[in-house]
């Protein structure tokens, strides 16, 4: 099933999401909305491509995360199951790389 990835009103790309097998169950792909807990906006979405036959049957799930303006990172990665990373569109991978480069995990070395 085809999904599009949107961040702050910009489409990052489109890709396929397949059902996953976890804990002996099949988990169907779902639409995701990223809701900012500070300002109340939906700042990102992963949604089935409009017009697909399955579009009306797919449920929405909401992640309650601050948007970038309110202290969040802007990452969509929390919604991705590890098995789906290889199927992400190039625009999403570039978006996540830019976030990683802006937010290094290690502090700046003290010896510089």
Average pLDDT over residues 36-58: 84
Using a 10 angstrom Cβ sphere, with 0-12 exposed, 13-18 middle and 19 or more buried, the burial of residue 74 is buried
**Cβ atoms of 99 and 75 closer than 8 Å:** yes
pLDDT of residue 80: 55
User: What are 64's two structure tokens?
Assistant: 């309650």
pLDDT higher than threshold 90 for residue 108:
no
For the entire predicted model, the pTM comes to: 0.79
Average pLDDT, the chain: 83
pLDDT higher than threshold 60 for residue 71:
yes
User: What are 22's two structure tokens?
Assistant: 């976890």
User: What are 107's two structure tokens?
Assistant: 């502090």
Residue that is written with structure tokens 């697909």 in the block: 52
Average pLDDT over residues 73-99: 81
């Amino acid at each position: 099933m085809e999904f599009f990835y949107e961040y702050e009103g910009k489409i990052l790309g489109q890709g396929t999401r397949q059902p996953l097998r976890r804990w002996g169950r099949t988990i169907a792909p779902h639409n995701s909305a990223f809701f900012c807990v500070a300002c109340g906006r939906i700042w990102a979405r992963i949604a089935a491509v409009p017009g697909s036959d399955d579009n009306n049957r797919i449920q929405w799930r909401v992640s309650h995360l601050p948007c970038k303006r309110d202290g969040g990172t802007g990452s969509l990665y929390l919604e991705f199951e590890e098995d789906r990373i290889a199927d992400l569109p190039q625009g999403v991978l570039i978006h996540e790389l830019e976030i990683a480069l802006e937010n290094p995990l290690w502090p700046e070395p003290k010896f510089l």
